[in-house]
Structure 1
Amino acid sequence: MIPILAAALCAAMMPVEKTVAVVEDSPILHSQVMELLMELGVEPEGDFEEITASPEYLDALRELVENRLMVQAGIDAGYYPADEEIRALVEQELENEPGMAALDQEMLASMVADARAAQVFLGRKVQAAIAEMPMNPETFLSDGTGQVEELVMPRRVSWILVPIVPSGPDFQAALVEMQELRDRIMAGESFEELAGVYSDDASAARGGYLGTFERGDMTRAFEETAFSLAPGEVSQPVATTYGVHLIRLDGVEDDGRITASHILRVVEIDSSDVQAADSVARGIKDDIESGSIVFEEAAELYSIDGSSAGSGGDLGVKPLRFWIPAIADAAADLEPGRCSDPVLIPDVGALALIKLQDGGEGVDWSSYTEEELNSLVQQVVYQETYVSMVDSLTREIPVIYLTGGTSAGEESRLED
């Protein structure tokens, strides 16, 4: 399921093309489905008929239809917000996502109102279902093992995140360029002005300002450098998976958090960089399997994920379906306690060694905290309620699938 407001934003940003489904009187556009597929990293090939017949396309189309069903149900149930609440929701959304200011404000108001109607509708259904459940989450989960396995059986997963560091001529050129920029800053030029001109990061518009963060929020190389600086000091060039940075420590808060700015020159990684990281990761795995080091110690030594390295790479407990696909796929094939081969995590620019702490069967529920158990119960109930409501709403609200688009004039139901 994608967030309802995000689905609405896809609709707002897409040009009018072919309609591939209609929910009540609301069209779902082919371009919306393609936008969702792009967000999921899927690029279907072929002509229009081939693309719209692909399993990936049909799954994405169902996602959008389901979200629209929830919106329509919320409206029908009287949960559409009043004008004053809509204005407050728009203000909050603009504060969280300033980029939405570029949208037509009437359209944005409609989007946030639709999203709120759907959220309230589904939230009320989930609350009612939870109220009817046993108070003891451990009892519920152990009694409903089959159901939990099918929907959201929890897994405790750990990882060691090994960086893919760029190299080659572009990397060397970036190092030289950033050293020259540092020399100019040391000679008196404005850090903010140079960041605005040369930084490849979105923070360039703010003079490189990143805001306030604590240990564990940034990649390890960046974090270790930032926390080692004195206020006002600018670092030497620092290489991370993202490229080369100049980091300036702007201040230290009373609680130990810091504020910092940076200038980033992005350097693309290539296959040789991935191969180099793969060799490092496999070496770490060999050491773990030979007993030279335990997984948790290796995570503390080598992982660039500052938020989990200190706890031995522990990512916590949640169902595999809620992990990112690369982690879920690797963990699903593992025996508990074993370490995976290196897994590419594209969005992070790193390879991960995954360890599955438990396999979900015969789980000792007492090893989980009350907070973790309650979270799992809510996930089970949410998933059950969502599936049940989609099934019910599909019978109540007209849904027409137009697999050939309106221009073809052919209507057909997608097979379940």
Structure 2
Amino acid sequence: MGGRPDRVEGGAAAAHVRRGCAAGAPRVARRRREQVGAPNARTASREDAGSGGSRAPRGGEVGPRDGRLDLHLHQHDHEGIFPMKRWILFGAILCALYSLDARVPAAQASERIAAIVNKQVILSSDVDDRTLEAASRMHVDPGDSVALAKLRTEVLNQMVEKEVLLAEATRQAITVSNADVAQAVDREIDNLKQRLGSEEDYRAALAHEKTTEADLRKRYEPDVRDQLLISRLVGKEVQSKTSVTDVEVRAYFAANRDSIGKKPEALTLAHILLPFEPDSFQLRRARLRADSLRNLIVKGRAFDEVARQFSDDPSARSGGDLGTFVRGAMVPEFEQVAFSLKPMEISPPIRTRYGYHVIQVLEHLAATDSSDERVHARHVMVQAKSTPADEERSRKKALAVRDSLLRGADFAAMARAYSGDSATRDSGGVLGQISVPALPANLREPLAGLRVGEVSVPFKRDAGYHIFKLLAREPESEYKFEEIKDDLRQVVMNKKMEDAYRRWYDRVRKNVNVELKN
């Protein structure tokens, strides 16, 4: 039987749908909520679901242009058993979805209660479930009764904390719209598809679990709503009231220099991308399809409806909405058109290396003293799919280009003539300085092993074949303050917000009825 290994009998793909998150990620088990004394008390199951999103990288998919600062300040980065405070403060929503084929029975009168927050019940069985999951993930020996008891206490405290925050959000009449919840669920489902690998694997996993996307959305929605409520509450009460001065940042740098990791080795690279070019028939076919979809929109079909039904981009789920972005966030061909359109104007099909795009700008925001010019746009994309024959043509072309370089051809001139990366082509293929840890894993060792001035063999990546040249190398060194002041500012801000959050939470909890049972 052919196909991917994780599709055999559901396999890992089905497990992703059951859990809604990658194996090993923090997982919060179901939470049962009941009204004390309410007739026919219902048990509602909820999990913490995440949100996020991704956008196609610029610059030929090589990776970030610079490495992220690695601050080894563990004493300021402890998150506890579940990263509740980080999740609340910084929007890193926990990703957890229990098995879709599980059926949660109604709570029995004999079930023990671990805590009551106002009238919301936390059952001992739920605390036990979460504790065992945390113990498994953290490799705590289930036979170590002392460690397990300590872990259970922390888990219960986190569950109580969440209920306290939801009670305070209710008291302050904080709300979130159904549209906001739907967008967050859209992002989480897109993330799930990316983790599974493809739309096909996602559909196969749903089928194996005998569920539908509509059911999956219902599983996500309650906790996504809770998380948005908590995020808005803490944003209002903590984040908006916390600031950091330059003096505090410099003082932190001086006090923690020994704890700050070194600046990793960095490479200044140039590249030539020989993309997988679909043949002329596939390109014509994609262009005609893009034209027909544009005509549907011009004749009155809703843009978001056409995008959801026909677009080949992951943004199809949200009606093609790409959100708001600044110049430099998209590939140049797309960006040039997006920033030239008037609000609600429909572009003709625009070709990028990803396919043909029909673009509509919803809003064009001028630059201000505090923000850059930006647009809010959506698109319908028609992908011109490459074939193995197209990939073979690109491989042969890459080998021919490298042969010319080895015979002395100028790299910058060859990049301007042959590279398919429009973001770097005009600059001779220069990618800039990239820290070695920020390189894709399969390129890290071969590129770090190049001598300055040396040209690499062609490397196959998603967009095509890349040929690299090492222009310069900067060895590992100590960070200078100016290089990391923005990162340090965020570290100090995080610490201040966490301290402010704890003080604020302690005040809030005093106004909420919390009963911890034996």
Question: Normalising to structure 1: TM-score of the pair?
Answer: 0.53
Asked if the contact 2:183/2:318 (under 8 Å) is kept, the reply is no
Does residue 246 (structure 1) correspond to residue 246 (structure 2)? The answer is no
Contact kept in structure 1, 2:436 and 2:448, CA below 8 Å: no
Instruction: Render the CA deviation track for 1:101-129: whole Å, top value 9, x for unaligned.
Output: 543678779999xxxxxxxxxxxxxxxx9
Amino acid at match of 2:459: V
For residue 220 of structure 1, the aligned residue among 332, 335, 344 is 332
Establish whether residue 103 from structure 1 lines up as the match of residue 219 from structure 2: yes
Aligned partners of 1:356 and 1:246: how far apart in 2?
Answer: 37
Q: Could you say if the C-alpha distance between residues 372 and 167 of structure 1 is closer, same or farther in structure 2, counting changes exceeding 3 Å? A: farther
Structure 2 length as normaliser, TM-score? 0.44
Answer yes or no: is the 8 Å Cα contact 1:235–1:246 preserved in 2.
Answer: yes
Q: Deviation of residue 254 (structure 1)? A: 0.7
Candidates 353, 357, 367, aligned match of 2:467: 353
* Contact 1:165–1:239 (8 Å) recurs in 2: no
| CA drift at 1:131 | 8.9
Match of 1:12 in 2: 98
Trace 1:9-408 onto structure 2 (pairs within 5 A): 9=95, 12=98, 25-26=132-133, 75=154, 81-85=161-165, 97-99=184-186, 102-103=218-219, 133-134=256-257, 141=262, 153-160=264-271, 161-167=273-279, 169-187=281-299, 189-255=301-367, 256-282=373-399, 285=402, 292-295=409-412, 298=415, 302=419, 304=421, 306=423, 313-314=430-431, 316-320=433-437, 322-346=438-462, 349-356=463-470, 361=475, 363=476, 370-372=482-484
Inter-partner Cα distance in structure 2 for 1:91 and 1:285? 55
Aligned to 1:145: none
Q: CA deviation at 1:175?
A: 1.9
- Using the alignment, how far apart are the partners of 2:321 and 2:26 within structure 1? 31
Alignment partner of 1:26: what SS?
helix
Instruction: List runs of 5+ in structure 2 lacking aligned partners.
Output: 1-22, 28-49, 51-92, 103-128, 142-146, 170-174, 189-216, 229-251, 368-372, 492-518
Which letter maps to 2:482?
Answer: E
Q: 1:258 and 1:374 mapped to 2: Cα distance?
A: 26
SS of the aligned residue for 2:98 comes to helix
CA 1:357–1:203 in structure 2 vs 1: closer, same or farther (change >3 Å)? same
Q: Report the secondary structure of 2:284's partner residue.
A: helix
The equivalent of 2:495 in structure 1 is none
Task: Return the alpha-carbon distance in structure 2 between the equivalents of residues 326 and 319 of structure 1.
Answer: 12
Task: Give the direction of change, closer, same or farther, for the CA distance of 1:352–1:176 in structure 2 (3 Å limit).
Answer: same
Q: Give the CA deviation at 1:178.
A: 1.7
Superposed displacement of residue 67, structure 1: 11
Q: Give the AA of the match of 1:326.
A: N
In 2 relative to 1, CA 373–135 (structure 1 residues): closer, same or farther, beyond 3 Å? farther
Deviates further, 289-298 or 218-227: 289-298
SS in 2 for 1:352: strand
Q: 1:65 to 1:96 in 2, by over 3 A?
A: farther
TM-superposed deviation, 1:331: 1.7
Is contact 1:216–1:308 with CA below 8 Å preserved after alignment? no
Q: Identity of paired residues, percent?
A: 20
Note closer, same or farther for the CA distance 1:220–1:76 as it changes in structure 2 (3 Å cut): same
Cα-to-partner distance string for 1:346-389 (whole Å, 9 max, x where unaligned): 2xx3433334455565x5668x773359969x99xxxxxxxxxx
- What is the aligned-residue RMSD (CA, Å)? 5.4
For the 8 Å contact 1:159–1:352, the answer to whether it is kept is: no
- Report the secondary structure of 2:386's partner residue: coil
Q: Which has the higher helix share?
A: 1
The letter of the residue matching 1:217 is: A
What is the CA distance between 1:206 and its match in structure 2? 4.3
d(CA) in 1 for partners of 2:227, 2:133: 13
SS in 2 for 1:370: helix
Task: List runs of 5+ in structure 1 lacking aligned partners.
Answer: 17-21, 30-63, 113-128, 142-147, 380-416
CA separation of 1:215 and 1:304: change in aligned 2, threshold 3 A = farther
Which residue of structure 1 lines up, in the alignment, with residue 62 of structure 2?
none
SS in 2 for 1:25: helix
Q: What is the identity, as a one-letter code, of the residue corresponding to 1:181?
A: L
Secondary structure at 1:197's aligned position in 2? helix
Question: Aligned with 2:257: secondary structure?
Answer: coil
The one-letter code sitting in structure 2 at the alignment partner of 1:234 is: I
Cα-to-partner distance string for 1:6-37 (whole Å, 9 max, x where unaligned): 79746635778xxxxx99732899xxxxxxxx
Q: Which amino acid aligns with 1:134?
A: R
- Contact map agreement 1:155 1:360 (CA 8 A) in 2: yes
| Deviation, structure 1 residue 234 | 3.2
Secondary structure of the equivalent of 1:176?
A: helix
- One-letter identity of the residue aligned with 2:466: A
> Is the partner of 1:178 in helix, strand or coil?
helix
Verify the 8 A CA contact 2:270 2:428 in the aligned structure 1: no
Given that residues 12 and 107 in structure 1 are in contact (C-alpha distance below 8 angstroms), is that contact kept between their aligned partners in structure 2?
A: no
Q: How far is the alpha carbon of 1:218 from its aligned partner? A: 1.8
Counterpart amino acid of residue 448 in structure 2: A
Number of residue pairs aligned between Structure 1 and Structure 2: 305
Q: Indicate conservation of the 8 Å contact 2:312/2:380, yes or no.
A: yes
Partner of 2:18: none
Compute the displacement of 1:207 (Å). Answer: 3.8
Does the residue aligned with 2:376 lie in a helix, a strand or coil?
Answer: strand
